[in-house]
Amino acid sequence: MTSSLHVPKGTRDLTGREVQAFAALEQVARRVFGLFHFEEIRTPIFETVDLFSRSLGETSDVVEKEMFTFVDRGERTFALRPEGTAGVVRHFIENNLAVQGDSHRLFYMGPMFRAERPQAGRYRQFFQIGSEHFGSPEPAADADTVLMMSRIFEEFGVGEFQIHVNSLGCQTCRPKHRAALLAYLKKRESELTEESRRRMEVNPLRVLDSKVDGPKLTDAPAMKDFLCSDCAAHFDLFLGLVQKETSRVEINPRLVRGLDYYTRTVFEFVSPLLGAQSALAAGGRYDDLVGMLGGPSVPAVGFALGADRVVEAHLKWRGEADKAVSNQTMAVVVAMTEESVPAAFGLAQKLRLAGFSVPPLLPAKKKLKNQLSAAVDAGAKWVILIGEDELKTGELSVKDLSTRTQTKVPQQKIISYLTGTP
């Protein structure tokens, strides 16, 4: 009989090595955020629709067609959060955290929701880890954000990756570029897809983002030729700081990012191990967003990494053969007779208290040979046998699976024997 139960389209259950890798990534990220002095924030997974349409822009793909929205019993309209920045900015404004000259640094981790067409590396529920740094207009804040992400990837391990960077300018210089770009696109309108022609009218920059048309438009006016002197100096300083620390940085004049709120620095981390969805993480500066949402004018810079893709790159890079993700040593206790079950059960608890990972006892009647091969498959280091002889003598039989040796160890010395402490 086939079951009619299915995980919702575009979502998945995470199990085994994958969920272990997610947990390991969270642990690495927490450590690195600590090194850069960022604090954790957990915001609700749903917010008012209005918050997202005002922050991401009415014309962004996310707001136009990808939000999961619902109306509650009080006729209020909410959306499952499609990204993390809007909620953190809402928190920042709501709690009046803007104090002149102060910097606020927050990080978050959690599921995000977008009703996208599912494909490899693109899900409807995916997990992001990100940070927001409020209050600093300095290029050093942008550089710190990029280096923090880079450090997470290096410590977690994703193999090779590149850091693409660009500047989108500010309110002063962006309109000039926009006008030049629009004039250029108008001339080539007949070559563009319908989607690009539509984007051209609402936000011409986004045409450069198009997978189909972007690569054709190599001679499009580049933002860097239009940057005002402040934005150009900001970008140069930022580049100087990051290039001193890493050789992975590449300027990509076509990097524009899909969301409307970015100003000045934008960046994207890409991995050659992933297919079409090669972006591991992305972010940038958003100096106008806090003001746009009704707060004071506070500059900010942030990023978000896609944990699903980072984990995929990590597992590909480590290779399928490598099983040992857990850093806990595993010990298996085998009760060889029904009479030895209570002693074996007690020993399993004692080993767990000492920090060993110990799976539940298997039934005493299960063949010893099968119990041993199960222990090997699970990646155990130790197997401890308790049967009639062991109960009588008080000495346990201990197998070391890594050296394939067996010894007798008095029951009261078992922990010090396994941990190698006298």
Distance in angstroms (rounded) separating the CA atoms of residues 385 and 298: 65
- Position 308 contacts ligand AMP (CB under 6 A): yes
The site for ligand AMP, by CB under 6 A, has a size of 17
Using CB under 6 A, which of the segments 30-38, 159-167, 205-213, 305-313 binds ligand AMP?
305-313
Structure tokens that stand for 12 in this block: 């998945």
The one segment of 118-126, 153-161, 168-176, 360-368 that binds ligand AMP by CB under 6 A:
118-126
Tokens 């944990």 belong to 307
Q: Is the dihedral of CA 58, 64, 70, 73 positive or negative?
A: positive
- Give yes or no for a contact between 125 and 11, defined as CB atoms under 8 angstroms apart: yes
Nearer to ligand AMP, 56 or 351 (CB): 56
Give the per-residue SS3 of 189-240: HHHCCHHHHHHHHHCHHHHHHCCCCHHHCCCCCCHHHCCCHHHHHHHHHHHH
Residues 126-155 that bind ligand AMP (CB under 6 A): 126, 128
Q: Report the distance separating Cα 271 and Cα 273, nearest Å.
A: 5
What residue number has its CB nearest to ligand AMP? 306
Q: Which is nearer to ligand AMP, 114 or 174 (CB)?
A: 114
- Phi first, then psi: give them for residue 325, nearest 5 degrees: -90, -35
Decide: 167 and 231 in contact? Cβ < 8 Å.
yes
Residue choice 56, 158, 208, 280 for contact with ligand AMP (CB under 6 A): 280
Is residue 333 within 8 Å of residue 386, measured between CB atoms?
Answer: yes
Name the one range near ligand AMP by CB under 6 A: 96-104, 120-128, 196-204, 324-332: 120-128
The answer to whether 209 touches 259, Cβ cutoff 8 Å, is: no
| Residue 302 in contact with ligand AMP, rule: CB under 6 A | no
Q: Contact with ligand AMP (CB under 6 A): which of 92, 123, 235, 238?
A: 123
Residue 279 within binding range of ligand AMP, rule CB under 6 A: yes
Q: Which is nearer to ligand AMP, 69 or 328 (CB)?
A: 69
From the CB of 314, what's the least distance to ligand AMP, in Å? 13
Minimum distance of ligand AMP from residue 130's CB (angstroms): 8
| Helical spans, DSSP H, in 36-122 | 49-56, 61, 85-94
In whole angstroms, the minimum distance from the beta carbon of 381 to ligand AMP comes to: 36
- Report the candidate in 258, 239, 260, 236 with the shortest Cα–Cα distance to residue 248: 239
Contact 256, 166 (CB under 8 A): yes
Judged by CB under 6 A, does residue 60 bind ligand AMP? no
| Maximum separation of any 2 CA atoms in the chain, in Å | 93
Taking the complex as a whole, how short is the minimal distance between the CB of residue 307 and ligand AMP, in angstroms? 8
Nearer to ligand AMP, 285 or 399 (CB): 285
The least CB distance from residue 257 to ligand AMP, in Å, is: 7
Task: From 304, 352, 350, 303, select the one nearest 330 (Cα to Cα).
Answer: 352
| Phi, psi for residue 203 in degrees, rounded to 5 | -160, 90
Q: Which residue has the tokens 């002197």?
A: 229
Q: What residues numbered 64-93 form the site for ligand AMP, per CB under 6 A? A: 83
Least distance (Å) from ligand AMP to the CB of residue 116? Answer: 5
Site for ligand AMP, residues 253 to 272, rule: CB under 6 A = 258
Nearest CB to ligand AMP, comparing residues 116 and 154:
116
Distance of closest approach, residue 259 Cβ to ligand AMP, in angstroms: 7
Q: For residue 255, count CB atoms less than 10 angstroms from its CB and return exposed for 0-12, middle for 13-18, buried for 19 or more.
A: buried
- Residue 61 as a binder of ligand AMP (CB under 6 A): the answer is no
Q: Which residue has the tokens 């079951």?
A: 3
Selected range binding ligand AMP among 197-205, 303-311, 321-329, 332-340, rule: CB under 6 A = 303-311
168, 200, 282, 348: which one contacts ligand AMP (CB under 6 A)?
282
CA distance 212 to 115: 21
CB of 213 to ligand AMP, least distance (A): 19
Stretch binding ligand AMP (CB under 6 A), from 172-180, 301-309, 342-350, 351-359: 301-309
Kindly indicate which of the ranges 11-19, 167-175, 279-287, 362-370 contains the residues binding ligand AMP, using the contact rule CB under 6 A.
279-287
Residue ranges that bind ligand AMP, judged by CB under 6 A: 83, 114, 116, 121-123, 126, 128, 258, 279-282, 304, 306, 308-309
